[in-house]
Chains A and B, each alone.
Chain A
Amino acid sequence: MSFIEITAFLANGFVISLIIFAVTLIVGIPLGLPIAFCSMSKFAPLKAVAKTFVWIVRGIPLMLQIFIIYYVPGLLFGNPIFSQIDRYIIRNFTIPHDGGLTQMLLTNAGGLVAVLIAFAINYACYFSEIYRGGIESISKGQYEAGYVLGLTKSQVFKFVVLKQVVKRIVPPMSNEIITLIKDTALANCIMLPEIIKQAKELAATQALIWPLFYTGVFYLIFVGLLTIIFGKVEKKLSYFRS
């Protein structure tokens, strides 16, 4: 295989990595909010449930969570939902056999869904802790200053607290999001052809080891882009100190 072909082969894998990345953010960022609010709730049972959930999700390796989500429905409930997704697709779609992205996605749809669920829940819990830390770091004085001006609780949150929270959570969120792109490599534990799985494929079929190291370039470029974006966001919020 030529260098270009190998790059294209790996790039297909990286598209899968990016899909996991994007869906995790799109679902996880909003999903973290209700989890954060529950874990700060004054209603003790709700708070306990939320905190326990976050503790479990943050306490178990993500790889194990992927296994749990992928295998447990079949093992425990006799409902191997993700392999059923695969079977459904085989029955209803004509899958191309060109080794391209469409084939990769269609033949791995079940696993991809399982991975997306695991990632979204896992990251939502991490995000919720960042949100909680950010919200709790705002001084009582800010709320009280809002209340004595006659603002409602929700106005205080929306017009006084929110932007300060956003400013404070940008750095930890950046870290977490940069970790996320690298974590997508965990998807290869259930054989999902993300970029590192693709490189391992090349090692196995073509006896080529260097593509494995070459994958680092993809991550580096992407993380570089993210760093620039986060730098811009931080700069945009640097006009005030809180």
Chain B
Amino acid sequence: MALLEVKNVYKKFGKTEVLKGIDFSLNKGEVLSIIGSSGSGKTTLLRCINFLETPEQGEYYINGELLFDAKLAATYKESEIRKKRLKFGMVFQSFNLFPQYSALDNVMLALKLQIKEDIKTNKDLICKENNIKTRHQLAAYKEKLLKEAEENAIDILTKVGLKEKLNSYPCELSGGQQQRVAIARALALSPEILCFDEPTSALDPEMSGEVLNVIRNLAVDTGKTMIIVTHEMNFARDVSDKIIFMSDGVILEEGTPKDIFENPKFDRTKEFLNSIG
């Protein structure tokens, strides 16, 4: 069964229809690249599945279970949306690191808040399960969780090659380093699917290389399921199991890198591939 199934997604802004019936599925461990010309709706699609936009129509399933149905969108509470969107991680084109936090704190922030919230709302259950009797023990338990979260965050930052930069602030990091912190920040919440929206278009070639390597390692070493919107055709060809070519709000073509790059079915796809080099 597919890890993610996206069905029949329609999205418009005002009168402009941006997504006109998007269907695709993705298996666990697969890397999907989405390519297509500017304005074809790639970013909008990623934003929809990350709950940053609400489509007028469409459903998403995770492991066959309904995660989102546009018909029910109005009935979802903020807390539900928060839980649902954590199935996905998102890395933005412009990094969007929190400038006032160090690299480590950027990665830790959400984890910290989760731990605190969890202890606050499920206090009784947690105390029972862990045989906690005093306030002091509870504080120690929280300390332990925070410590673990920190170790986890350090591990992830080490994995993206930033062991030396744990305490640097975003303004002290290069673009490539910032984007790697952003990847670590998304990874720290262990999303089922990690989404990237043109993760290297704000970077010069040298820095793109280091970011692309990190993404490649994630695919190869950890078998992370990923959706990558990109204009880096060589990278997409290398790393993807599957490629989607979007044009004008629809998926015009879908297939293996070989299918798309060597045997494109449509003239539009050929034109696009030629234009991009």
The interface bits of chain A over 162-188 (1 if a CB of B lies within 8 angstroms of the residue's CB, else 0) are: 011001000000000000000000000
Cα(A111)–Cα(B52), bound, Å: 53
Check if A239 is an interface residue, CB within 8 A of chain B.
yes
Cross-interface CB contact of A142 among B78, B96, B185, cutoff 8 Å: B96
Contact between A240 and B50 (Cβ–Cβ < 8 Å)?
A: no
With an 8 A cutoff between CB atoms, is B100 at the interface?
Answer: yes
The reply to whether A145 and B52 contact each other, CB–CB distance below 8 Å, is no
Chain A hits for B96, CB < 8 A: 139, 141-142, 144-145
Across-interface contacts of A149 in B (CB, < 8 A): 109-110, 185-186, 189
- Which listed residue, B83, B85, B99, B109, touches A242 by the CB 8 Å rule? B99
Is A159 interfacial (CB 8 A cutoff)?
yes
Contact with A along B172-195 (1 / 0, CB 8 A): 000000000010011001000000
B170 within 8 A of A: yes
Interface centre among B51, B83, B100, B113 (most CB of A within 10 A): B100
Given known contacts A164-B99, A240-B171, A151 and B92 CB-to-CB distance under 8 angstroms: no
Chain A window 135-166, contacts with chain B (Cβ cutoff 8 Å), 1 for yes, 0 for no: 00001011011111111110100011001100
Residues from chain A with a CB closer than 8 A to the CB of B109 are: 149, 151, 159-160
Asked if A241 lies at the interface with its beta carbon under 8 angstroms from chain B, I say yes
B212 CB → nearest A CB, Å = 21
Smallest Cβ distance from A122 to chain B, in angstroms?
A: 32
User: Which residues of B are found within 8 Å of A163, using beta-carbon distances?
Assistant: 100
Contact of B78 among A148, A153, A240, A242 (CB under 8 A): A153
B94 interface residue, CB < 8 Å from A?
Answer: yes
Task: Provide the residues of chain A in CB contact with B50, threshold 8 Å.
Answer: 148
Task: Indicate if B88 sits at the interface (CB-CB under 8 A).
Answer: yes
Contacting residue for A152 out of B78, B100, B182, B189, CB 8 A: B78
A→B interface (CB under 8 Å): 139, 141-142, 144-153, 155, 159-160, 163-164, 167, 239-242
What are 25 contact pairs spanning A and B, CB under 8 A? A139-B96, A141-B96, A145-B96, A145-B97, A146-B98, A147-B51, A147-B52, A147-B85, A148-B50, A149-B109, A149-B110, A149-B189, A150-B82, A150-B86, A150-B114, A151-B82, A151-B109, A152-B78, A153-B78, A155-B113, A159-B109, A167-B100, A240-B100, A240-B171, A241-B99
